Amino acid sequence: MANKDEIIDIVEEKRNLFIDVSDRIWEFAENSFKEFKSCQLLCSVLEKQGFIVHKNAAGINTAFKAVYGSGRPVIGILGEYDALYNLSQKEKIAAKEAIVENGNGHGCGHNALGAGSLAAAVAVKDYLKKHNMSGTICYFGCPAEEGGSGKTYMVREKVFDGVDAVFGWHPQSINTVLGSSMTANIEAYFRFYGVSSHAADCPHLGRSALDAVELMDIGANYLREHVIQDARIHYAITNSGGSSPNVVQSYAEVIYLVRAPKVNQVKDIYERIKNIARGAALMTGTRVEVVFDNALSNLIINSTLNKVMYEKMLELGPVVPDEKDLKYAEAIRNTLTEEQKNYFPISMDDKLKDKLRKKTIADFIIPYRESSNIIHASSDVSDVSWVVPTAQCFTACYAFGTPGHSWQVVAQVKAEFCHKSMLMAGKIMALSALELFEKPELIDKAKSELKERLHGEKYVCPIPPDVKPPLNKVGII
């Protein structure tokens, strides 16, 4: 069994390197498919650490695969580094204050995610080298998790072929290993084309694209009553046709994001949404164009790998916040509503909820539990989980109750407590990966479990083969 203290020493010896990477990616704050500086930084560090870096994975210029070693097993570590639009925020303060108005910010903590995974990959590499062990460790540089489905394209292009198991993590407000599935989704633009005219003098000559968008939205809202309980239908009007009310709008656009527990459920709802759009076009005498944007699958959990990861989390123990950490977290919690303070990111029993309510920072590990309750959020990690046994953990990187995709997350994921939890995640993933190097029978068990959970169903990429990564995408998350 890999020496825990040895892994701790490797990560701690290079902690300043990993923290610097996290902080610099935080400062870059680059959006989906635009993570050029973040990608280059990670590639440069990995090359200096002895990895061979294969750039432009899946034809995406901000995706890569970094490899060390040879032979089996081949263990992957997932890294992300994309930011969110309109979440620019100053670091380490407890007040909403943008660095750049309407600028970008790491509201999901992917700066720490990428750096924590880097720590894991480097630690495994150093351990393999020191002990002259065979096998391969890979760091997968995965762009555009936020509304871009970067990993889905990478799976479609077989970037993960030949990998035996994969570990990942995500910053959160709790410490645990994920034992629930996540939703599949499809995102598409609906572009309506009408006829402009003077809205007062000759409105009868116009055909309003904005009317079509609004009627589509009304139809979709009525649809909500007639879909399964766990489905979600989101939309945003991205072009309302201009700012002149005296002109009948000849063009308008809305983007829809549909979620459901299974891919086939999402596809069914998406087809109904498309029919609503066609109906709106018929009602208004306009034409609608449907532009498929991206999609991803539901998560296939793997309890074999999850239990390995959970054991390593227990072995290392949670990060214990110091007085400075608690003081800052309390200041952040003072900016939250009571409803936010009582938000629980996964399902849990009342006893655990009561315990968490008393915490400024979650300083304990929530017991691993496989649950049929889904997490309604989505992740392109799910597509990886269909083709490679996959496990993920959460570590508490910010004050309990902090909502995701918020300015409060951005402020906290450059703070010292996040750095400590990020490095803890790296140690957990490194020890988990090394457990598979030393016990290859666990890989066989994990692969058998994946096969059983799929019940003979083959992976079909939810993104059509003719749809390419939207490398010029701007303004949409």
Q: In what helix (H) or strand (E) does residue 441 lie, and over which residues does it extend? A: helix 441-454
Report the distance separating Cα 351 and Cα 357, nearest Å: 10
Contact 175, 365 (CB under 8 A): yes
Handedness of CA 36, 37, 42, 48 (dihedral sign): positive
CATH of the domain spanning 184-295: 3.30.70.360
Q: How confident is the model at residue 3 (pLDDT cuts 50, 70, 90)?
A: confident
pTM here?
Answer: 0.94
Q: Which amino acid is at 302?
A: N
Q: How many CA atoms lie within 13 A of 95 on its CB side?
A: 1
Mean pLDDT rounded to a whole number for the chain: 96
Tokens 């081949």 belong to 74
Q: What CA–CA distance (Å, rounded) separates 258 from 53?
A: 36
As beta bridge partners, residue 239 has 253
Q: Is the pLDDT of residue 475 over 50?
A: no
CATH of domain 4-181+299-454: 3.40.630.10
Sheet holding 184-193, edge to edge: 232-239, 251-260, 184-193, 287-296
- Cα three-residue angle 107-110-113, rounded to 5 degrees: 140
pLDDT bracket for residue 1 (50, 70, 90)? low
- DSSP, collapsed to helix, strand or coil, labels residue 152 as helix
Give pLDDT tens digits for 89-141: 999 999 999 999 999 999 999 999 999 999 999 999 999 999 999 999 999 99
Sheet architecture: strand order including 165-172: 52-55, 64-70, 135-142, 74-80, 165-172, 390-396, 176-177
Mean pLDDT over 25-40 rounds to: 97
Residue 476 above 50 pLDDT? no
Domain boundaries, the chain: 4-181+299-454, 184-295
State the Cα–Cα distance between residues 69 and 51, nearest whole angstrom. Answer: 8
Angle between helices 303-316 and 441-454 (to 10 degrees): 130
Q: Where are the beta strands (DSSP E) in 175-286?
A: 176-177, 184-193, 232-239, 251-260
Question: Using one digit for the tens of pLDDT, what is the confidence trace for 263-293?
Answer: 999 999 999 999 999 999 999 999 999 999 9
Strand 74-80 to 135-142 pairing: parallel
